[in-house]
Amino acid sequence: MEIDLTVQIGKLKLKNPILLASGTVGYGNEISQFIDLSKIGGIVTKSISLKPRKGNPPQRICETPSGMLNAIGLANVGLEAFIKEKIPFLKKLNTTIICNIAASSIEEYVECTKVLNEEESIAAFEINVSCPNVKEGGLEFGNNLDAVARITEKVKSVTNKTVIIKLSPNVSRISDFAKVVKENGGDAVSAINTLVGTSFNIWTRKPKIKNITGGLSGPAIKPIALAKVLEISRNVDIPIIGIGGIMNWKDAVEFMIVGASAVQLGTVNFINPFAALEILDGMKTYCEKMSISKISELTASYILDEH
């Protein structure tokens, strides 16, 4: 049985729903030694900022029960080097490239998008408004409805490519944020970024992560991520890219059922670099078993007997 694996995110058509999450595969070169990236839906680049960032001092990561904390500090080569050094390689992979942008001001978001918009090889933008390091007067963009509204609107005004806003899970009602994204012309949202967490060494009484707090990722956050995606799906009509703790094809299917049009794999890449293709195969088999001919039919196929 031939299964149509393609999915649509705004104007963007993906070969299949499997994307690699920002910051978990760098710019693709290392992971491409394990898997043929042309076989998956696409890759989201490490967050790019206008200027290079050397990132946080060690220790940047630590393991937690079924998860990990990270505070990389958006270490990245910066806009210029990205275009000069990374894009040429990314092109060769012939996979869909979604460029993730981080910034510390609305102007910087716009500036980056403007410049990168010229790059044909970039298919879409994912705007990271949810990185704990990105602050506006001490307040995270991602937790501020107006900021998210303005960023969406301003970024859209300088590109015709698909714009995906990556939402913060550290809010009471994430669907309110998805709503303003839609109202301001955003094409899609991705959810979730990491949850704020910490861990301390009880002998030194110091944080295990130099940055004190870090972002929690991995299987531990999957139930939370699923609830956030479901909340958006039930309240706002906008394509959702589901992220959070996906380790196997069952998890990926679960995200699509609760409302995701596509999914991103993060932490799992560190443990099993083959995961993307294994998950894709598993999803195909699942569709066959359930005689689903278009994988996109899975999206928001949840059955809730309410009242």
Q: Provide the binding-site residues for a copy of itself, judged by CB under 8 A.
A: 64-67, 69, 140, 143, 170-173, 195-200, 202-207, 212-213, 216, 218-224, 226-227, 230, 245, 250, 253-254, 257-258, 286, 290, 301-306
Q: How many CB atoms lie within 10 A of CB 34?
A: 14
For the chain, give me the number of helices (H) and strands (E)? 9, 16
Asked if 222 and 251 touch (Cβ cutoff 8 Å), the reply is yes
Size of the site for ligand FMN (CB under 6 A): 26
Q: Using CB under 8 A, which of 5, 7, 25, 48 touches another protein?
A: 25
Per the residue annotation, which of 62, 99, 131, 287 is the catalytic one?
A: 131
CA atoms within 13 A on the CB side of 39: 13
| SS3 state of residue 246 | coil
Residue 16 binding result from another protein, ligand FMN, a copy of itself, none, given CB thresholds of 5 to 8 Å by partner type: none
- Hey, which residues between 112 and 151 contact another protein (CB under 8 A)? none
Q: What is the dihedral of CA 176, 178, 180, 184, to 10 degrees?
A: -170
Residue 258 binding result from a copy of itself, another protein, ligand FMN, none, given CB thresholds of 5 to 8 Å by partner type: a copy of itself
The yes or no reply on residue 72 touching ligand FMN (CB under 6 A) is yes
Is position 287 annotated as part of the catalytic site? Answer: no
Question: What whole-number distance in Å separates Cα of residue 239 and Cα of residue 248?
Answer: 22
The full DSSP string for 71-102 is -----B-HHHHIIIIIHHHHHHT-S-EEEEE-
Q: Strand order of the sheet with strand 213-217?
A: 61-64, 67-70, 213-217, 195-198
Binding residues vs ligand FMN (CB under 6 A): 21-24, 46-47, 70, 72, 74, 100, 128, 131, 166, 193-194, 217-218, 221, 243-246, 265-268
The residues that are catalytic are 131
Q: Which residues bind another protein (CB under 8 A)?
A: 23-26, 30-31, 33-34, 46, 54-63, 65-68, 70, 72, 75, 218-219, 247, 267, 269-274
